[in-house]
C-alpha cells in the first residue's frame, strides 16, 4: 500500500499512543535472550532482537485457553440440568510489534488452519482484534536459522504494518486498511520519497547473501523426498535419540495441536473446559481407548512431525509447515534438526537409488 | 451427591510436608471438607476413626515392623493413595540404600546404633501393598492433589501427566537450564508440578519419578556435557529414585555401584559423638 518514514526517536511516541487503546506486545530482553511480552515502557521494545523461545503464536492460540464454563445441577423442576457459557479468552485490541518474517509465515498458516474447514470461533474472535507489525529481517537470527531455504525471508501479505530499519529510521509499509489507520491515527508520519524507496530496494537486495542455505534439496522437493523416505532408516536413529519431551512442537510457530481438559470447581457443580497445547511427540497423543497407540514408537512420532511439516500440512492447506525459524533446533537437547533430517534423508535415498 | 466418602491420612518415614501442604490448601479451599469426611489425620485432628474408604499415606516404608500397619490400612481402605515422593518412590529415604544398613546405622547413631533403631532399605508403598493412585512430588502439588481427589469423587481413574517436565517449561517459556549449563533432570521426569524448580532457576532432581519414556542414555549424555562424572550422574539419578533405578536394572544401568562396599561419605557434618 503506502510507505512512510518513521524516525527512531518517534517510535516511543507511537508505542505510547497505542498503549492508550491497545494491549501492546513485542520482543523484550530476558536473562538469557528475548521473549514476546507486554510492553509497559516503550524502552523495553527490542526490535533488533535475535529470536525468542516461543513464537508470537501464543497470542493467537494461548497455551491454556478456557473455551466455556459450565454449571451442572438440578433445575427448577429438580431435573438434571447443564448450563454452558462460552468464554472468549484474551480477546482484546492487541498490537504485536516486531514479528519476524518467518513468524508471519507461521501466522499465515494459522489463519488458514483455524478458518478453513471447521472455523474456530475462539481463534477468529481473537484474531480479528490483533494488529501485526512486522520487522524486516536484515540478518539471520543465528546458526539455526534456515528461513532462506524455506522461502520465508520476505514478509507474507498478512501484516498490518511492516517496518524496515534504514539509516537510523524505519520505513513503514502499510499492508492493510486497518494498518494504515493505526499509523495515521496515532502518529504524524511523512510519506517516503522516491530516494527512500530506491534505497530500500538496495537494502533488501543486499540482505540475501547474509543468509545461508542449509538444505540439500529445495523446499518444493521435500514432499516427494518425504514420501520416498517413509521407511528410511533415519527415523529409527532419530527415535532412539529423541527425549519425547515435545519441546520441538511447543516452540514451533506452525504447530497448533491441543488437548481439551475439564477443571471442576471445589463445589463439584461448576467448572470450565480449556484447551491446552499438546504435542504429537508425546506418547499419549495417539493413544486411544482400548490401549491402542497409532504412534507408539518415538521413531514413528519423529517421522510424523517431519511429515507434517514437509508434506501433510501442504497437502491440506497449501503451505509448508516449516518456516525455517530454527526454534526446534535451538530447543532440542539431543540435536535433532530439520535440516540434518532432510539432508540425512536425502543422502539415504541417494544411496538407496545408487546415484 | 451420596454420603461424603470417609478419608484418612497416615504417615510413615517422611517429613509430613505433603500433609502440611494439604492443611495449607484448606486455607483457600475449605470447600474440600464439604466433599469428604476426614476421620483420621494425626497432623490435623485428635479423633481417630478406623472406618475409612480412602487412605492417603505419606512416607516410605523403612522398617520391617511398618509392614504390618501398612497391610492393616490396606485391608480397611477401599482405595490407597500414595501421597508424595516418599510413599510414591521411596524418595530421599532410599539414599541410604546406597550403603550396607549396618554401616548406615553406625554412621548415624554411633557404635550401638544397630540396637538403638530398627531400619531396613527404604522402599515405596507399592513394594509392600497394592497402591491404587499416586500423588507425586516432594512435596506434592496442592492443585494436583485437589484434582485427583475430585477425579476420584467423580469415579474417574486419577490421571497424571506421563510426559517430561520440558513440556511445562516450554509452555511457561522458561529458558532451558540444560542449555545454559545447569544440570536438570526435567527431560526424564514426570511433569505435573508446572516445572516449579526450573521456573525458579533450579535444575529438576526427579522428585516426581520418571516419565514413561525416560531416555536415560541421552539424559546421561546431557549431564556428561555439564562435566558431571558417571558417579555424580548416578548420585543424581538415585537421589529420589534409588529404588526405581534398581528396579529398572539393566534397562537403565547405573555406571557405578551404588549399593555395595562404597565408603560412606566424609561429611562436613561429623557423625554424632557418643558420650
pLDDT given at position A89 = 97
**Domain map of chain A by residue range?**
3-353
pLDDT given at position B107 = 87
Q: What angle do CA A339, A343, A347 make, to 5 degrees?
A: 170
Dihedral Cα A259, A264, A265, A266, nearest 10 deg: -130
Q: Which of A59, A245, A336 to mutate to test the interface with B (most CBs of B within 10 A)?
A: A245
Work out the widest C-alpha separation in chain A, in whole angstroms.
78
Residue of A nearest to B223 (CA): A333
Residue of B nearest to A265 (CA): B150
CA–CA dist A194, A190 (Å, integer): 13
Mean pLDDT computed over B200-227: 97
Q: Which of B163, B173, B215 minimises the CB distance to A54?
A: B173
Chain B residues closer than 8 Å to A32 by CB: 175, 180
Strand order across the beta sheet in which B133-135 lies: B37-41, B6-11, B54-58, B79-83, B133-135
Where do runs of H (alpha helix) occur along A210-337?
A: 222-228, 234-241, 247-250, 298-307, 313-317, 327-331
pLDDT given at position B269 = 46
Chain A residues closer than 8 Å to B194 by CB: none
Q: For residue A11, give Cα distances in angstroms to A8, A157, A163, A200, A332.
A: 5, 23, 11, 19, 36
CA–CA dist B101, A35 (Å, integer): 51
The answer, yes or no, to whether residue B268 has pLDDT greater than 60, is no
CA–CA dist B272, B107 (Å, integer): 8
Smallest Cα–Cα separation from B110: which of B272, B267, B270, B265? Answer: B272
Render B6-38 in DSSP notation, one character per residue.
EEEEEE-BS-SHHHHHHHHHHHH-TTHHHH-EE
Q: List the grid coordinates of A295.
A: 504412534
Is the bond preceding B139 in cis, omega lying within 30 degrees of 0? yes
User: Are B170 and A54 a contacting pair at CB < 8 A?
Assistant: yes
CA–CA dist A340, A342 (Å, integer): 6
Chain A residues closer than 8 Å to B187 by CB: 243, 245, 333
Q: What are the structural domains, with CATH classification, of chain B?
A: 6-153 (3.40.50.700), 166-251 (no CATH)
Q: For residue range B43-94, what is the model confidence (pLDDT) as tens digits?
A: 999 999 999 999 999 999 999 999 999 999 999 999 999 999 999 999 999 9
Smallest Cα–Cα separation from A13: which of A38, A45, A36? Answer: A45
pLDDT less than 70: residues of chain A: 355
CA–CA dist B206, A5 (Å, integer): 54
The answer, yes or no, to whether residue B272 has pLDDT greater than 50, is no
- Name the residue with cell 485428635: B46
Chain B residues closer than 8 Å to A251 by CB: 170
The answer, yes or no, to whether residue B261 has pLDDT greater than 70, is no
Q: How confident is the model at residue B137 (pLDDT cuts 50, 70, 90)?
A: very high
- Name the residue with cell 484474551: A90
pLDDT given at position A73 = 84
pLDDT given at position B270 = 46
pLDDT given at position B185 = 98
Q: How confident is the model at residue B264 (pLDDT cuts 50, 70, 90)?
A: low
pLDDT given at position B153 = 93
The answer, yes or no, to whether residue B205 has pLDDT greater than 50, is yes
**3-class SS shares of chain A: helix, strand, coil, % to 5:** 40, 20, 40
Dihedral Cα B125, B128, B133, B134, nearest 10 deg: 20
pLDDT given at position B114 = 82
Other C-beta atoms within 10 Å of B75: how many?
8
The answer, yes or no, to whether residue B266 has pLDDT greater than 60, is no
Amino acid at each position: 500500500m503506502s510507505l512512510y518514514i518513521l524516525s527512531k526517536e518517534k517510535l516511543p511516541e507511537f508505542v505510547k499512543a497505542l498503549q492508550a487503546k491497545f494491549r501492546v506486545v513485542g520482543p523484550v530482553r530476558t536473562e538469557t535472550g528475548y521473549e514476546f511480552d507486554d510492553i509497559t515502557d516503550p524502552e523495553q521494545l527490542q526490535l533488533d532482537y535475535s529470536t525468542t523461545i516461543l513464537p508470537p503464536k501464543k497470542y493467537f492460540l494461548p497455551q491454556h485457553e478456557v473455551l466455556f464454563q459450565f454449571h451442572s445441577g438440578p433445575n427448577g423442576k429438580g431435573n438434571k440440568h447443564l448450563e454452558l457459557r462460552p468464554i472468549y479468552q484474551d480477546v482484546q485490541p492487541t498490537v504485536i510489534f516486531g514479528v519476524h518474517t518467518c513468524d508471519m509465515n507461521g501466522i499465515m498458516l494459522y489463519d488458514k488452519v483455524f478458518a478453513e474447514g471447521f472455523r474456530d470461533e475462539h481463534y477468529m474472535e481473537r484474531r480479528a482484534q490483533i494488529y501485526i507489525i512486522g520487522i524486516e529481517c536484515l540478518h539471520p537470527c543465528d546458526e539455526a536459522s534456515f528461513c532462506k531455504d524455506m522461502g520465508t525471508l520476505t514478509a507474507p501479505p498478512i501484516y498490518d504494518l511492516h517496518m524496515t530499519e534504514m539509516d537510523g529510521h524505519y520505513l513503514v509499509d502499510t499492508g492493510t486498511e486497518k494498518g494504515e489507520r493505526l499509523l495515521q491515527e496515532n502518529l504524524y508520519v511523512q510519506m517516503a520519497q522516491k530516494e527512500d524507496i530506491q534505497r530500500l530496494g538496495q537494502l533488501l537486495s543486499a540482505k540475501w547473501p547474509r543468509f545461508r542455505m542449509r538444505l540439500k534439496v529445495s523446499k518444493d522437493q521435500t514432499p516427494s523426498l518425504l514420501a520416498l523416505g517413509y521407511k528410511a532408516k533415519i527415523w529409527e536413529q532419530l527415535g532412539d535419540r529423541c527425549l519425547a519431551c515435545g519441546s520441538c512442537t511447543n516452540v514451533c510457530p506452525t504447530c497448533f495441536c491441543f488437548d481439551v481438559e475439564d477443571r471442576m470447581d471445589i463445589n463439584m457443580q461448576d467448572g470450565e473446559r480449556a484447551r491446552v497445547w499438546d504435542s504429537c511427540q508425546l506418547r499419549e497423543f495417539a493413544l486411544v481407548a482400548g490401549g491402542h497407540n497409532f504412534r507408539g514408537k518415538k521413531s514413528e512420532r519423529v517421522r510424523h512431525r517431519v511429515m507434517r511439516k514437509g508434506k501433510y500440512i501442504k497437502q491440506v492447506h497449501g503451505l509448508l509447515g516449516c518456516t525455517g525459524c530454527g526454534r526446534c533446533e535451538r530447543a532440542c537437547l539431543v540435536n535433532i534438526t530439520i535440516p540434518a533430517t532432510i539432508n540425512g534423508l536425502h543422502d539415504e535415498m541417494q544411496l538407496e537409488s545408487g546415484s | 451427591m451420596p454420603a461424603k466418602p470417609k478419608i484418612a491420612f497416615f504417615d510413615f518415614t517422611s517429613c509430613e510436608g505433603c500433609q502440611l501442604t494439604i492443611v495449607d490448601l484448606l486455607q483457600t479451599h475449605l470447600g474440600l471438607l464439604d466433599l469428604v469426611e476426614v476421620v483420621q489425620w494425626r497432623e490435623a485432628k485428635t479423633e481417630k476413626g478406623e472406618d475409612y474408604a480412602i487412605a492417603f499415606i505419606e512416607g516410605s516404608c523403612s522398617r520391617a515392623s511398618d509392614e504390618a500397619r501398612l497391610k492393616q490400612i490396606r485391608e480397611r481402605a477401599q482405595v490407597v493413595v500414595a501421597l508424595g515422593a516418599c510413599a510414591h518412590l521411596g524418595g530421599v529415604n532410599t539414599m541410604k540404600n546406597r550403603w550396607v544398613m549396618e554401616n548406615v546405622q553406625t554412621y548415624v547413631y554411633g557404635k550401638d546404633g544397630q540396637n538403638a533403631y530398627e531400619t531396613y532399605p527404604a522402599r515405596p508403598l507399592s513394594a509392600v501393598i497394592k497402591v491404587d493412585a499416586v500423588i507425586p512430588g516432594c512435596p506434592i502439588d496442592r492443585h494436583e492433589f485437589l484434582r485427583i481427589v475430585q477425579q476420584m469423587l467423580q469415579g474417574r481413574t486419577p490421571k497424571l501427566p506421563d510426559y517430561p517436565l520440558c513440556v511445562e517449561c516450554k509452555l511457561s517459556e522458561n529458558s532451558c537450564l540444560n542449555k545454559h549449563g545447569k544440570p536438570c533432570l526435567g527431560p526424564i521426569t514426570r511433569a505435573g508440578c508446572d516445572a516449579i524448580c526450573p521456573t525458579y532457576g533450579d535444575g529438576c532432581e526427579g522428585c516426581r519419578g520418571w516419565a514413561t519414556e525416560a531416555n536415560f542414555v541421552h539424559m546421561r549424555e546431557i549431564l556428561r556435557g555439564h562435566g558431571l562424572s558417571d558417579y555424580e550422574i548416578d548420585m543424581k539419578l538415585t537421589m529420589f529414585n534409588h529404588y526405581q533405578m534398581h528396579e529398572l536394572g539393566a534397562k537403565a544401568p547405573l555406571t557405578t555401584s551404588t549399593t555395595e562396599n562404597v565408603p560412606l561419605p566424609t561429611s562436613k557434618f561429623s557423625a554424632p559423638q557418643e558420650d
